[in-house]
Chains A and B, each alone.
Chain A
Amino acid sequence: MATMNDTAFSAVPRRRWRRGMLSLLGLLPLALLLLVWQLVQQGPSPYFPRPSLWADALVKLAVTGKLWPALWATVQTFLESLVIATLLGSVLGMLIGRRRRIAQTTGPLFEFFRVIPAAAVVPVAVLFGGYTESMKIVVVVFAAIWPVLLTVQSGARRLPAARDDLARSMRLTRWQAVWKVLVPSMVPSILLGVRVAAPIVLIIVLLVEIITQVPGLGALLASGQQNYQAAQVFGIVAISGILGLLTNLLVTAVEAVATRYESR
């Protein structure tokens, strides 16, 4: 290994660099499109303002102090909702996955809840919670809990019998069995659920903000549209694209943790 060390050392970064360049090459169509857009669209347009105007609109929003609070509100709701959906989904999933009767009893109700579009839930949540931050979180959790709940449920159902036997032969109490056997066994399932849930959470946060105008990026999007500020709308869409990419990075990171955990 020691002799291979120096070759490996130089080869890996170069390969990574090449792959990086290749994926940058893949950005070419998008970059070209934006460039053509910028050059063709002279003067203001009510529908397709040129990309440099997006930047101007964003700068204006930032200067007037609207952009950063909105961005932070969206990110904060995103993180809080993801954590709550993960915790709640994991607990419910374990409970339902381990108890067949509970699974039978809750199955149809949950199946029904799962297909109700998040947008339709918004007016109901508003009835109960008003136009507040917690209303946002309730809707997002309601929509994003299912991937976590379902993966954990099927994970808990397929827990190897040997692990149960292990808990019994070590005479663990029920509590200990849950903490030392069940929960650690569920980590891969939970992480898988988080991977699916994270993009959904981002989408639903924006959705609730667009519909209710509760402060956030979505509210800026909707108000931009209502005031025919096309440049502002496109600028915020670009920012939500960046948020989407960051979410993908988060998902990749979670994936890496999951594979390391499973190979241990």
Chain B
Amino acid sequence: MTTARIAGPPVLSRTRRRRLWLNWRGASLIVALALLVELLVQTRVVDFQYVPAPSAVIGAGWRLLASGRLLSDTGHTLSAALLGWAIGSAAGIVLGIWLGLSRWARRFGLTSVEVLRAIPGIAFVPVVILIFGFTITMEVVTILFVCVWPVLVNAVAGAQAVTAVHDDVARTLQLSRLQRVFAITLPTAVPYIATGMKLGLSTSLALAVVAEMVGNPAGLGYSIVYFQGALQPASMFAVIVWIGLLGLALNLLYELLTGRLSTVRTGLAEAR
């Protein structure tokens, strides 16, 4: 038990995760599981009517990709997710910085924010469907309403993290209020905001899928429901796996883009 730990100092989780992607053990587990299912289905040992063989899933995925349907669905889902995420994040930054800077705003606003934030975002999906109907607007509104909170909470914390020294600098330089926000508050809050936006990003994809499953009949979420109803489980599984890969790609992309901000991870880790 101890030898593993003596072998080296604890490795940072991020580098570790990167390395896991290249490890043969992890890859072989996935391949082995896929082969096992393939074997069970081909030999009809398991008699689940709706369990497709992995080869069938790959084939269905390839056909969806070749027909262009998968890519156009992806385009729809991603644009809804990213648009909602961008608008929600912008609103979260503005409101959060305001709440963080103004004592008055905190006094009169914070509890209301806490109460609204406690409502599970998913509960708003039916409300948004009622109001906006089965449109892409409905998707975007759902997503932005959920993405706003982690960014807002982190922006409040970030705005309050300005050190006394920086405050003094602002006063010495006689910066105006607006100048102070852009020169001091925002740069301090950026790592926090980046953390909040990362949480929002993965939520945005999940919510786009939900919104498409129960609301707007378009995109990847609707594809899942469609193939479920059409009794094409192989295509359904292919779309689900594709969504998972998409989530991984989004996370990686975001980490690459924000990687330059060395302090990105000092923000609040949870959306609380």
Are A and B physically bound partners? yes
Whether B248 and A112, one on each chain, are in contact in the complex, defined by CB atoms closer than 8 angstroms, is yes
Can you list 28 A-B pairs with a CB-CB distance of less than 8 A?
Answer: A23-B110, A23-B111, A26-B114, A27-B115, A46-B130, A98-B1, A104-B25, A105-B28, A107-B23, A108-B21, A108-B26, A116-B247, A119-B209, A120-B244, A123-B240, A124-B236, A127-B48, A161-B2, A164-B2, A210-B122, A211-B210, A218-B122, A224-B126, A237-B124, A245-B115, A247-B118, A248-B114, A248-B118
Whether A127 and B206, one on each chain, are in contact in the complex, defined by CB atoms closer than 8 angstroms, is no
**B112 on the A face (CB < 8 A):** yes
Whether B17 and A107, one on each chain, are in contact in the complex, defined by CB atoms closer than 8 angstroms, is yes
A119 surroundings in chain B (CB, below 8 A) = 206, 209-210, 213, 221
A240 surroundings in chain B (CB, below 8 A) = 119-120, 123
**B183 on the A face (CB < 8 A):** no
Whether A245 and B118, one on each chain, are in contact in the complex, defined by CB atoms closer than 8 angstroms, is yes
Could you tell me the distance in whole angstroms from the C-beta of A120 to the nearest C-beta in chain B?
5
Whether A106 and B209, one on each chain, are in contact in the complex, defined by CB atoms closer than 8 angstroms, is no
**A170 on the B face (CB < 8 A):** no
**B94 on the A face (CB < 8 A):** no
Partner of A244, one of B120, B131, B225, B243: B120
Give B235-260 as 1s and 0s: 1 = Cβ < 8 Å from A's Cβ atoms. 01101100111011001000000000
A27 surroundings in chain B (CB, below 8 A) = 111-112, 115
Question: What's the count of A-B pairs with C-beta under 8 Å?
Answer: 185
Stretch in A9-17, A85-93, A131-139, A225-233 touching the partner:
A225-233
Most buried by B among A23, A206, A233: A233
Interface residues of A in 200-244 (CB under 8 A from B): 202-203, 206-207, 210-211, 218, 221-222, 224-225, 228, 230, 233-234, 236-237, 240-241, 243-244
**A63 on the B face (CB < 8 A):** no
Could you tell me the distance in whole angstroms from the C-beta of B214 to the nearest C-beta in chain A?
6
Partner of A124, one of B10, B115, B240: B240
Interface residues of A in 100-130 (CB under 8 A from B): 100-101, 104-109, 111-113, 115-124, 126-128
**A38 on the B face (CB < 8 A):** no
**A196 on the B face (CB < 8 A):** yes
Q: A115–B252 Cα gap in the complex (Å)?
A: 12
Residues of A in contact, count (CB < 8 Å): 72
Whether B111 and A116, one on each chain, are in contact in the complex, defined by CB atoms closer than 8 angstroms, is no
Whether A107 and B111, one on each chain, are in contact in the complex, defined by CB atoms closer than 8 angstroms, is no
Q: How large is the interface on B (under 10, 10 to 19, 20 to 34, 35 or more residues)?
A: 35 or more
A243 surroundings in chain B (CB, below 8 A) = 120
Q: A210–B130 Cα gap in the complex (Å)?
A: 14
Could you tell me the distance in whole angstroms from the C-beta of A152 to the nearest C-beta in chain B?
14
Partner of B17, one of A28, A105, A111, A121: A111
Partner of A123, one of B5, B23, B26, B236: B236
**B13 on the A face (CB < 8 A):** yes
Chain B interface SS verdict (over half): helix
Chain A interface SS verdict (over half): helix
Whether A124 and B118, one on each chain, are in contact in the complex, defined by CB atoms closer than 8 angstroms, is no
Known: A123-B225, A206-B122. A30 touches B209 (CB 8 A): no
- A residues within 8 Å of B by Cβ? 22-30, 46-48, 98-101, 104-109, 111-113, 115-124, 126-128, 154, 157-158, 161, 164-165, 195-196, 199, 202-203, 206-207, 210-211, 218, 221-222, 224-225, 228, 230, 233-234, 236-237, 240-241, 243-245, 247-248, 251
Q: A101–B110 Cα gap in the complex (Å)?
A: 46
Whether B233 and A100, one on each chain, are in contact in the complex, defined by CB atoms closer than 8 angstroms, is no
Partner of B247, one of A99, A108, A117, A121: A117
Partner of A108, one of B27, B125, B233: B27
Whether A25 and B123, one on each chain, are in contact in the complex, defined by CB atoms closer than 8 angstroms, is no
**B267 on the A face (CB < 8 A):** no
